[in-house]
Chains A and B, each alone.
Chain A
């Protein structure tokens, strides 16, 4: 009842290659879910299956309690925004936004009111009569968003909508998209390969690999508790240890896992000699030497070598570490409680 969009056992083969392997996914009304994964993981194909642009080889798709598996795209009431905008170059901005309503036979006046409303929503009212080619990439994408929202789709699909834009516009537009989505309560599925983007905009993130969803979690959950090595590595600078490495660093670990992950900001860095003052219950102290240092702005990221194992450590740049240099001797403080026990791939 609660599941507005429900995929069950979705399969897709391209020749012999299995692009989607029994994917199940449920999305509640008004939720923004992100499909995150490297290129070729099947995330865009899944989106196109929901839109009806790609046919399934198995499974079913329910949208608002209606089976749409066999329906052609135009009957699904699904809105989609493409990576390359796909605005019709022969139509003005206004005509582009009105296109879907025209196809549904709405009256001219209603089309006009609605398109004005949407152009106001994306803050481009004054561009109504120009042709899309004369707009910037970010503006074109906002028009594409308005066009797909104009027909009040049941679900909005965004296929890497920001990846053709440059970094600054990308950041602005993603917050804008999120705000519009929240304001309209639009059920949305967002595809991206950028983990930062996924964490920022989503209610829920599904990480995909090899045609399967391998972790479906809230952004916080995903970041703090990656379940497999793949997710840990994909989320960024996680330290990933093999079992022997973990044993060497922590002395003992309370699980049978084969690999372990530790966030770089969960490691505390102390200057050699300061160590005693910071000793706490259960913490592990290790002597290490700095291998490299890079300034990321508010964070200093360094790699340190302890017991022959290299670790990435993030330190808040509060001014106390200005003189951190390569070859410096330091002490690392590790908290065993922060060590993530990773599941085996495919388990």
Chain B
């Protein structure tokens, strides 16, 4: 009877399994195996990886990507932290409006975003021309289609995300703790050093992981802004596989596997950190403790929300 009761419902899983196999698992596996194929299609080899490591061109793409991802994530975290703290000082109404704006602008990414920056700061951008007109030469050396320009745009799409992911943890720091710390003789700075920042640390590192993965995988913005002018891993992979230059699927697969490894690692970091901060939150919860089963159900949800 057990089999009977469940036998019928298992049919409902078949379309899901087929779709996931066809469009997710098989392609990923095929890509991984392809990265171990040599160019002539025979045998298993690490040659592609060795080649990628030895090629100055590919290494530059990897380095550029890592560098711009780390830089834009750090900048995003720094701005996000300051703004998240500021937000907690406002009334809920103001806070919600600020959050709504950042939520709104987080939709503004990819091609349209690159385009907006071209209008503002491109070669014939409004500000570029204005500044030239006014004789401001602070921006004379600025070129939107270079590393600095790209970094500026990356930071733009990192900040709203960082703010949205970080601000809830500031609400996890309760006013009573500050009061308790103050009564125990801790100053404002000492409180943040000994209690505030350690409490925030998991959220900061976790958000860092998400921002990093976000920047590593960003393709549309870079593609629309600098095209092939700036050597980035994601853009390189795109041109190797489908581009109109030399199509080298094995190399494309190899670089794609390398890229996926960095983002997987970053998302895993986030996962670990969210679990850690979940421990704090569970203990510090204001509300009466729900049943254990409920806690278990709710926690993964929080993790996934961070995964967005």
Instruction: Please say whether the chains A and B touch (CB closer than 8 A).
Output: yes
Closest B-chain residue to A57, C-beta based? Answer: B2
Residues of B232-270 at the interface with A, using a CB-CB cut-off of 8 Å, are none
Q: Verify if A55 is at the interface (C-beta below 8 Å from B).
A: yes
Q: Flag whether A244 is at the interface (Cβ < 8 A).
A: no
Bound Cα distance A70, B3 (Å): 12
B298 at the A interface (CB under 8 A):
no
Q: What per-residue 1/0 map shows which CB atoms of B105-149 lie under 8 Å from chain A?
A: 000000000000000000000000000000000000000000000
> Is B1 on the interface with A (CB-CB < 8 A)?
yes
Shortest distance in angstroms between A116's beta carbon and chain B's nearest beta carbon? 36
Q: How far is the CB of B303 from chain A (nearest CB, A)?
A: 26
Point out the residues of chain B lying under 8 angstroms from A70, CB to CB.
1
Interchain CA distance A38-B2 in the complex, whole Å:
29
B5 → chain A, closest Cβ, in Å?
7
- Chain A residues in 8 Å Cβ range of B2: 55
Total chain A interface residues with beta-carbon distance under 8 A: 3
What is the CB-to-nearest-CB distance from B289 to chain A, in angstroms, rounded to a whole number? 15
Q: Which residues of B contact A72 (CB under 8 A)?
A: 5
* Interfacial chain A residues near B5, Cβ < 8 Å: 55, 72
CA A199 to CA B5, docked complex, whole Å: 38
What 1/0 mask marks residues of chain A from 53 to 76 whose CB sits below 8 Å from any chain B CB?
001000000000000001010000
Contact with A along B214-238 (1 / 0, CB 8 A): 0000000000000000000000000
Complex: A268 Cα to B33 Cα, angstroms: 86
User: Interface residue count for B (Cβ, 8 Å)?
Assistant: 3
Shortest CB distance A14–B (Å): 14
User: Chain B binding site: helix, strand, loop or mixed by DSSP?
Assistant: helix
What is the bound-complex CA distance between A55 and B2, given in angstroms? 8
Residues B1-51 near A (CB distance < 8 A): 1-2, 5
Which residues in B have their C-beta under 8 angstroms from that of A55?
1-2, 5
Q: When chains A and B are docked, how far (Å) is the Cα of A21 from the Cα of B5?
A: 24
Interface residues of A: mostly helix, strand, loop or mixed?
Answer: loop
Cα A66 to Cα B5 with chains together (Å):
21
User: How many Å lie between the Cα of A72 and that of B8 in the bound state?
Assistant: 14
Assembly CA distance A55 to B1 (angstroms): 9
Contact residues of B between 202 and 220, Cβ < 8 Å to A: none
Closest to B1 in A: A70
Binary contact readout A36-65 vs B (1 if CB under 8 angstroms, 0 otherwise): 000000000000000000010000000000
- CA separation between A141 and B9, bound complex, in Å? 31
**Nearest CB in chain B: distance from A291 CB, A:** 33
Q: Which residues of A contact B1 (CB under 8 A)?
A: 55, 70
Bound Cα distance A55, B5 (Å): 10
The minimal Cβ–Cβ distance linking B40 to chain A, given in whole angstroms, is 53
B297 to chain A, nearest CB (A): 14
Minimal beta-carbon separation of A86 from chain B (angstroms):
16
CB distance from A124 to the nearest CB of B (A): 29
Complex CA distance for A89 and B282, rounded to whole angstroms: 30
Report the minimal beta-carbon distance from B159 to chain A, rounded to whole angstroms.
Answer: 40
A263-281 interface mask toward B, CB cutoff 8 Å, 1 = contact, 0 = none? 0000000000000000000
Measured between alpha carbons, how far is A335 from B300 in the docked complex, in Å?
60
Alpha-carbon separation in the docked complex, A70 to B105 (Å)? 58
**A13–chain B nearest beta-carbon distance, Å:** 13
Task: For the complex formed, measure the closest distance between the CB of B66 and the CB atoms of chain A, giving whole angstroms.
Answer: 46
What's the minimum C-beta distance from B151 to chain A, rounded to whole angstroms?
50
Nearest chain A CB to B45's CB is how many angstroms away?
46
In the bound complex, what is the Cα–Cα distance between A310 and B2 (angstroms)? 54
Contact with B along A70-100 (1 / 0, CB 8 A): 1010000000000000000000000000000
Complex Cα distance A263/B30, Å?
75
- Rounded to whole angstroms, the CA-CA distance of A312 and B5 in the bound complex is 54
Bound-complex Cα distance A72 to B2 (A): 10
Complex: A236 Cα to B304 Cα, angstroms: 46
**Residue in B closest to A72 when the chains form the complex, CB atoms:** B5
Query: What string of 1s and 0s marks CB contacts (under 8 Å) between A302-336 and chain B?
Result: 00000000000000000000000000000000000
CB distance from B305 to the nearest CB of A (A): 24
B63 to chain A, nearest CB (A): 51
| A123, B23: Cα distance in complex, Å | 57
Chain A nearest CB from B71 CB (Å) reads 50
Bound Cα distance A55, B6 (Å): 12
Which chain B residue shows the least CB distance to A71? B1
- Minimum CB–CB distance from B304 to chain A (whole Å) comes to 25
CA A70 – CA B2 in complex, angstroms? 10
- The smallest C-beta distance from A83 to any residue of chain B, in angstroms, reads 11
In whole Å, how far is B194's beta carbon from the nearest beta carbon of chain A?
A: 40
Residue of A nearest to B2 (CB): A55
CA distance A72 to B6 in the complex (A): 12
CA distance A70 to B12 in the complex (A): 24
What's the least CB distance linking B290 to chain A, in Å?
13
Among residues of B, the one whose C-beta sits closest to the C-beta of A69 is B1
- Closest chain B residue to A55 by CB distance? B2
A84 to B90, CA, bound (A): 39
Chain A nearest Cβ from B131, distance in angstroms: 59
Give Cα distance in the complex from A55 to B4, angstroms: 12
In whole angstroms, how far apart are the Cα atoms of A72 and B5 in the complex?
9
CB distance from B8 to the nearest CB of A (A): 12
**Smallest CB separation, B3 vs chain A (Å):** 11
Q: Could you show 5 A-B contacts with beta carbons less than 8 Å apart?
A: A55-B1, A55-B2, A55-B5, A70-B1, A72-B5
A-binding residues in B (CB < 8 A): 1-2, 5
Which residues of A approach B to under 8 Å, CB–CB?
55, 70, 72
A-B pairs with lowest CB-CB distance, top 5: A70-B1, A55-B2, A55-B1, A72-B5, A55-B5
